[in-house]
């Protein structure tokens, strides 16, 4: 069985940064042939690693530390006024847990989301193969949470990994034509509540990059813990 002592890592060549314009980046990947069970994946998450399909990675840049891992201590999180309003607006949505899979309904929603919200990103244009490789593959304890309106229409899907002592918000895609619901923000609020219900202390949100405007939303969930110099520090 692979453990932290025997695990091998590989660094990519320098490539364009996904977060900062005109910056170069490197990424450290866990050996894709390694057997990574829940315990090992949980340890790696504590060290700032994320998952994308079968790949577990973290930034490994030579001269930049802009990418900061963040997580929410769910037991002490208290929603602000705007967040409470969002919870009230979306209280009519039903949420159902499903096994990850590629369906026509999921992909249509995913395709609309990428086309309308991320046409300037490296996930554009979307494909069904991309969806499957990114969200379905992985061999981890992962679920799709379906958010449906009272008519049964699928409006959002939150993809969540279950770790030993936390959950990880892997990705959320949603109907881009429902801005008043702020479905991306609501999905995080719902996952905070669910993580607390499960008796787990943290919800991981991935990376925060100060100079990346698209990452600013993560600062709305306070208190927030950041992994700085190998230690988790709480900011208020």
The answer to whether 51 and 168 have CB atoms below 8 angstroms apart is yes
The CA–CA distances, whole Å, from 66 to 19, 62, 81, 199, 226 equal 9, 11, 30, 31, 12
Residues 109-122, mean pLDDT to the nearest whole number:
93
The CA–CA distances, whole Å, from 68 to 64, 99, 148, 205, 216 equal 11, 30, 33, 10, 12
Residues 82-102, mean pLDDT to the nearest whole number:
98
14-33, pLDDT tens digit by residue? Answer: 999 989 988 999 999 999 99
What is the per-residue pLDDT for 120?
Answer: 84
What average pLDDT does the chain have?
A: 96
190-215, pLDDT tens digit by residue? Answer: 999 999 999 999 999 999 999 999 89
49: helix, coil or strand?
coil
pTM: predicted TM-score of the whole model, two decimal places: 0.95
Residue found under tokens 């705007």: 82
The C-alpha atoms of residue 128 and residue 48 are separated, in whole angstroms, by 28
- CA dihedral of residues 91, 94, 99, 102 (deg, nearest 10): -100
Reported as a pLDDT band with limits 50, 70 and 90, residue 7 is very high
Reported as a pLDDT band with limits 50, 70 and 90, residue 3 is confident
85 Cβ contact partners less than 8 Å away, ≥ 6 residues apart: none
Q: Dig out the tokens for 8 from the structure.
A: 């091998």
- For residue 1, is pLDDT > 80? no
Task: Using DSSP bridges, classify how beta strands 202-209 and 166-174 pair: parallel, antiparallel or unpaired.
Answer: parallel
């Amino acid at each position: 069985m692979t453990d932290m002592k025997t695990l091998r890592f590989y660094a990519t060549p320098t490539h364009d940064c996904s977060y900062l314009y005109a910056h170069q980046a490197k990424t450290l990947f866990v050996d894709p042939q390694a057997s990574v069970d829940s315990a090992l994946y949980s340890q790696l998450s504590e060290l700032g690693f994320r998952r994308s399909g079968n790949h577990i990675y973290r930034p490994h840049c030579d001269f930049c530390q802009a990418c900061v891992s963040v997580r929410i201590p769910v037991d002490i999180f208290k929603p602000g006024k705007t967040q409470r309003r969002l919870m009230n607006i979306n209280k009519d949505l039903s949420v159902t847990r499903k096994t990850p899979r590629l369906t026509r309904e999921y992909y249509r929603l995913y395709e609309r989301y990428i086309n309308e919200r991320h046409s300037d990103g490296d996930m554009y244009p979307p494909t069904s193969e991309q969806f499957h490789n990114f969200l379905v593959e992985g061999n981890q304890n992962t679920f799709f949470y379906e958010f449906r309106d009272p008519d049964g229409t699928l409006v959002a899907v939150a993809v969540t990994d279950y770790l030993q002592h936390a959950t990880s918000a892997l990705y959320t895609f949603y109907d881009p034509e429902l801005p008043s619901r702020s479905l991306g923000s609501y999905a995080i609020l719902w996952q905070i509540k669910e993580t607390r219900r499960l008796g787990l202390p943290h919800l991981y949100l991935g990376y925060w990059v100060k100079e990346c405007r698209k990452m600013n939303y993560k600062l709305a969930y306070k208190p927030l813990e950041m992994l700085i110099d190998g230690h988790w520090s709480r900011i208020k």
